[in-house]
Every structure is written in structure tokens, then in C-alpha cells.
Amino acid sequence: MEYRNIAIIAHVDHGKTTLVDGLLKQTLKLKHGEEIAERAMDSNDLEKERGITILAKNTAVEYKGIKINIVDTPGHADFGGEVERVLGMVDGALVLVDAAEGPMPQTRFVLRKAIELGLKPIVVINKIDRQDARIEEVVNLTFDLMAELGANDDQLDFPILYAVAREGKAFKDLDNPQEDMHELFEMVLEYIPAPPVDLEAPFQMLVTNLDYSEYLGRIVLGRVQRGQVKKGEFVQLMHKDGTMTKTRVIQPFTHLGLNRIEADVVGAGDIVALAGIEDAQIGETVADLADPEALPIITVDEPTVSMTFQPNTSPFAGREGKYVTSRHLNDRLKREVMTNVSLKVEELRPDEFVVSGRGELHLSILLETMRREGYELQVGAPQVITRMVDGEKMEPIEHLVVDVPEHHSSTVIGAISSRKGQLVNMEPQGTRTRVEFKIPSRALFGFRTQFLSMTQGEGIMSHIFDGYAPWAGELKTRQNGSLVAMEAGSAFAYSIWKLQDRGSFFIVPATEVYVGMIVGENARENDMNVNVCKNKKLTNVRSSGADDALSLTPIKKLTLEDALEYIGDDELVEITPQSIRLRKKVLDPSFRK
């Protein structure tokens, strides 16, 4: 069997997962009569809700007797750990670029990795049916980006396809559009090199991903570099520390469409899954028993943001969650580290863990997943991870790209400059302006909400880790203090109404509150203790129905990300399966003074 292994690289929302849907529909329907769901590759609930890919996944299609393994990579830099290890399995990449937006920061991040690994790119200009498409310009921008990232002549001589992925079309010639994707398949077979297949050599495979099955236990995924392995055969698992464990392959699998297919034997060149290799970690080698030889270990960029995780200690602790103790938390984090390569967990005290990841989104996705599983915990404000280089304090810097309507550009530039952002590039694009900055990572905490209100929801911002630079000094990212409950009980509409001019509220009437819980944002800089549990005294003249006429300002409903962005250093977010509450670290107002 001949193989081609390709990755799909693109910025968020440029249509990667939709393109894979098209490839699957056309090959599986023709050959196996299978029906494919929309965005079939985004398998977990959070991916479906947010319309983003979080986990790198692989699928395979057959075309003209050749098996094409396709790996869908995440576009967000926060899941860069997923991207880095996946690119080692493939020989080429489909670089997907939006015909109107052009190459974006995320494209840059994954593309740099792909070019360093010497992968052959095929550029696919998607969404060419958009009214604001600027196809020729986008092709030139993509060429410039590749040249800037150090692509060699062979890589710069890339073929180009034009696509409307949503309609399942991709073709070579703009003047001769096709109704399907056969020209894309032909191009993959022509341009992407076939992997070397040596079935006689000793077996060797790098573990690049892990999965888990209730029946088979841990499943390791990766590309077989050489040789083959049979069902029931013994192999050596070569650990990162140089030790080896003899283990048995209970069941090998290959992929077709979205299914894993049981196989008796799997061999070089294919991307496969092996069940039965229990202690494997990502980056370790599964090798031949008689002649084991390790492959180079995968290295992943270091985390840039950390948070402290603790069991919930608020007065409402244990009311809503299923897993509430520090032991539950410890076990869950240990399990996460096994599959989430760019995450690090350090135990500060038996009930406090420092969890470091690639960005705020990376950590908030973990928290959202945990609360859906029934965990209850509290976390501190995100902190950047600094380094000392030659006695100088260095901090992570982001490359920020904002795309805003022209009339909002000066406000946005002013706001970003006040957060120590340095303008590096600015170009008008029709009625919009694209501005690029270098900015400390910590300056972006809490900026997204402010940015959206400044641009009335029309701005697009995306950023990517750019490296380390000297510490930029003190930064004030939050202008307002908090409104903190000083009495426990149920909140009354009357007291919220009386306090409305003091700030904006996060809670609705009848919400249960405790002393030290944050109920809103103060209009001024300092914190303010308020009593939201005070009701109006009724008299013969005043009836209880009079309260129905109170008009309350709509509340600010905080999502998990909003809550993490909002809190200060002396505050915590309490996360349970049903609620997200904000609180002070020290609940008692007299101790807080």
C-alpha cells in the first residue's frame, strides 16, 4: 500500500475542519456510502460550541488505491503543543488561507514549524466566493510570509488551489472551476512525497498522541517510521530517562474516515494506533524487542502563563460538585498532564497546585472541561512566567494583530499603547485597518472585553507568543475596584436598585451570596463593601407589589474567561459545575483591611 501523510494548517476560522469534511464526504460516500456529519472532526463538546479545534486529530481517505492520512491541527497558539508533535508525523501540509483575511498570526506560527521541518506546502486559498476576496494579493502575502520564515526554494515553489470548502470544491484554475475536490487529491499525490517504507527493518514508532478506551486501556498514536508490528507481538517501550519496559501490542488499528479499524499487522509509513502499551508518554519510542533504537524526543515550547488551583473553600463549597477534595484535584491534573504535553503541574502544598500552560485560553479550556466533569475548585488570577537571563528579568511577549474599522483605529492604538504595546506595522485595507504590535503577554489579560466594547463588536484580534523580552515595568490593566458583599443571604432587587449608581452588578435578585463574595464592579478604583441583602420595610401605605416597578440595569453576565480576566491578585474565581462566582481571597472585611 502507498501512503501520503499531510497536515492541514490554518488560522482560526479559515475553514480547515470544513475542508476535511469535504474530503471525507467525497471519498467515503463514493466508496463506502457513508454519511458524514458537519464539522465531523471537532469531536468534543467544547470544540463544537466554540467552533474551534482544540485537539489535533487524524483521519484517512483512500484515493486511487493510495491512502492519504490527514491530520487536522488546532489554529490557536495556546494549543501549540498539539501542533508541534503532529507535524513530525507528516511529509507535507495544506496551508489554508482565507481569500479576504490573508495570512494571520496563527498561520505564521504553525507554518514556521512546518518550514523548519522541511515539509512541502500546498497553498489553498479558501472562501474565494466572499465579496471582499482579494485572491491575487493574498497569494503574494502568503509567498512573502513563507520567504520571511526562511522557506527554501523548493518550498517557495508551492502549487496553489482555489477552494470553496463549504461547497466541497477545490480546483487549480480560476477560469475553469470544478464541482468537487479531485484536483486537490491529484495535487497531493503529485507534490507530497510518499514516506519511506522499509518493512524489513526493526520496528520503530514515536508516540505523538495518547487516547484512552474503557475496554483496551491506553492507546498510543503515531507514525510507524520503519518495520511492522503484529497483533500480540512483544515490543520495547523506550522511556525518556533511558529505561525500557517490555510490553505487548494487544491490538493495532489503522484509520479510515472517522473510524479506527482493527488490523492484524501495521507497517511503515502509516499513522496507526496501538492498544496495550500502558505506561507510554508522549515523545517516547515503541521499538523492536530484539533491536530497540530510540527516536529523538519531541520538544515542546515552554508554558508562558500559570494559575494556582485549589479545592473550593468558600461557604458554598461542596454544594454542587461531585469531586471536591485535593486528592480528586491532584489525580485529575496528573491525568491531564499525560496527554496535554504543553501543560505543567507543580504541587506547592498538598492542597495547592500551580498549573502552567501556553496561554489563558489553554487553561480556561481545561477548567471548563473539569467543571463539566463535576469538579469544584477555586483558581487565582493568571500570572505570566518570567525568566532571569544574565541577571535581567525577562517576560513573555506576544505578537498582536488587530483588524478594526478605520474610525476606531486611533482609540484602539491609544489603548494598546497605554498597556506598553509597541506598534510595528499598520496598513489600511479598504474601510478597515490592520495594526500589528509587540506587547507583554500580561497586558492582554482582561483586554478582549474592553477591545470589543471599544470597536462595538466589529474588531478582530489575535495574538501569538513571540518570545521573551526585558520586563516592561508596572502595568495597570484594571481601572475599577470590586463591589463586595458584606452580609450573607439572598440578594434583593430593592438593595441592588439602591446601589446601581455605585457600579455594575454581576448578580440578579434572589442570588445567594456570602460575605466576601464579589457581586459587581465598582465605578471607582477602590473596593467597596455593600449589603445586597437588605429589603425595604413595608408599611400600611407601601405594598409589597410596589417593588415590581423597579427598573434594574441589565447585569454583566460573566463567562469563565471573563471571570479569569477580571479578577485581581487578591481575588479568586470559584468554579463549580453550575456556577462561576468571584470572591476575595480573605472573606472577612475586617481582616481584609
Residues making up the annotated binding site for GTP are 13-18, 126-129
130 HSE (CA, 13 A, CB side): 19
Beta strands (DSSP E) in 442-569 are 460-470, 482-485, 489-490, 503-505, 512-513, 517-522, 528-530
Q: Calculate the CA dihedral of residues 310, 313, 314, 315 and round it to 10 degrees.
A: 160
Please report, for residues 154, 376, 587, the alpha-carbon distance to residue 515 in angstroms, rounded to integers and kept in the order given: 66, 19, 6
Q: Check if the beta carbon of residue 545 is closer than 8 Å to that of residue 561.
A: no
The contacts of residue 396 (CB under 8 Å, 6+ apart) are 304, 305, 384, 385, 440, 441, 465, 467, 468
Coil, strand or helix at 495: helix
Beta strand pairing call for 528-530 and 482-485 = parallel
CA dist., res. 569 & res. 380, Å (int): 7
Amino acid type, 234: F
Strand (E) or helix (H) holding 372: helix 360-372
DSSP string, 25-49: HHHHHHHH-----TTTT--SHHHHH
CA dist., res. 188 & res. 25, Å (int): 17
Q: What is the number of residues in the chain?
A: 593
Coil, strand or helix at 532: coil
Residue 261 phi, psi (nearest 5): -115, 130
Place of cell 459587581: 520
470 HSE (CA, 13 A, CB side): 4
C-alpha cell at 530: 455593600
Residue in 92, 89, 114 with CA at minimum distance from that of residue 223? 89
Amino acid type, 20: V
CA dist., res. 171 & res. 104, Å (int): 23
Amino acid type, 571: E
C-alpha cell at 79: 494549543
CA dist., res. 259 & res. 211, Å (int): 14
